[in-house]
Structure 1
Amino acid sequence: MASQPHFNDHYKSLLDQLPPSMKKDVWLRLTNRKNRPLSEEQVRGIHPDIEEFLTREVDRYFNKKNRQKIKIEANAIPEGSSTLFRLDGFEKQLEERELHVQQRENNIKKTIEAQVAEERKHLKDEYDALKSRLESEYNNCMVDMKQKTYSFKHQLESQHNSRLAELEKQYKSHISALDKANAVKDKEIGKLSSTISQLKNEKRDIKKTADSVCKDLEDIIFTKDLKIIALNDRVIFSNPSAGRDGTIEPNTFISFHDAEYWTRKREDAKSNLNIRKKYTFRKPV
């Protein structure tokens, strides 16, 4: 079933002048014609062929109505038949002329379409040739770029390998020099360690000797102190009025202050040789 005509409102003024049957006929002729038929979507829109077709149909419709009116009026008068006959002849001439004009228009359209098709073909050939040339240039460019890329890559790899070999050689040279330096340092460290060990042993021996000497000296000093104390005690015993020597620690302390005084002197004598020389103590310092 054919679709109902539904033209765009843009053609309302023309459509209002046609009866529904002609509107439908226009719709069918536009969508079913042999040359460049329009789709239903195109007919619903705005297209120059639609306006041209509708205008022509409106003119034909009104011409037909006018002819019918003239025929009716001509049949009503005696001279009308001859006039109508001449009018029919004139209309046939007009129709033939219109048909001739339409054929000429069709020929012109066909000529234009042929020229357009030829020009389109010419443009397409030029486009294809240009496309082929550009593709060829592109391919050549890609090949050239690949070759240059490969050459550049090979050059970079060669430079990299050369630089790597040079760095490796320098690295091995530095490692060898470091190994030699470390060997020399190890020898020096060994010598220093031996010297330090020897010095430590000598220091230990010296300290041991010094401790022994100090012990002997302490014993001698303490023996001397005991002799001095014994001699002082004998002097005091034989002559009590002679008085006590203040540098000799007494046998007994007469006061707490006196005991504290000699305790402090004993402690100071441990680090002060002058006190140790000046004072005589009853116990080893």
Structure 2
Amino acid sequence: MTGILTPSFHVYYSKQLNQLPHSIKIDTWRCLTSRKHPLSLEQASSIHPEVEDLLNKMVENYIKQKERQKMKPITSDCENLLRKENEELCISKQVLEKKIEELLDLQEQYKSCEVAMTRSLEESSGKVTQLSDLITFFKSIISDTKKAIASAEKSIDLLENKCRHQEDIISAKDRKIIALVDQILSKMEHSDVTIELEIYSSTHERKLWAKRHSESEHDLET
């Protein structure tokens, strides 16, 4: 009974046995010697294909188990990281959804502003066209006015020249009249002042002769 419980593997399997703990060695030995169709102690202690296959499986399973144990803390850390990242992603998702809603609202506002701006531009374009037409009209009026002013200035210059010419003529005639009056007066000084003139140099002279004529008639009556 003691031989059945105590593993007695062949030295050939030292490589596999060195990788296994004592408890697994015992379990492997029991499996070989106590199963439904067990190996004899001699077979289990010798180089046997079933012994080699089972030991290889035990080594493979043990290595996998160790890897799993090593991976557990890593997996736990990964799960925590993933959980945190998931929470952060959820928060980021909510923030992004709010931003998307805000952007959609801004887009609607932009569309409304765009429509209003388009209408305003259309109205402004019409007003600009009207102003452009008015400017063109006023420019034509200004051009015509400038031409009329230039023509009026020429006419004024001509009239001024004519006025100066007329003034020169009047001045010359005045000088001639004054000379004639001087001649008449000088002749009257040497002639009878009671003789009425046929031609008067002025209205004053005519009135003077009328007064003298009236006075002479009055003297004759007295």
Taking structure 1 as the reference length, what is the TM-score of the superposition?
Answer: 0.34
Taking structure 2 as the reference length, what is the TM-score of the superposition?
Answer: 0.42
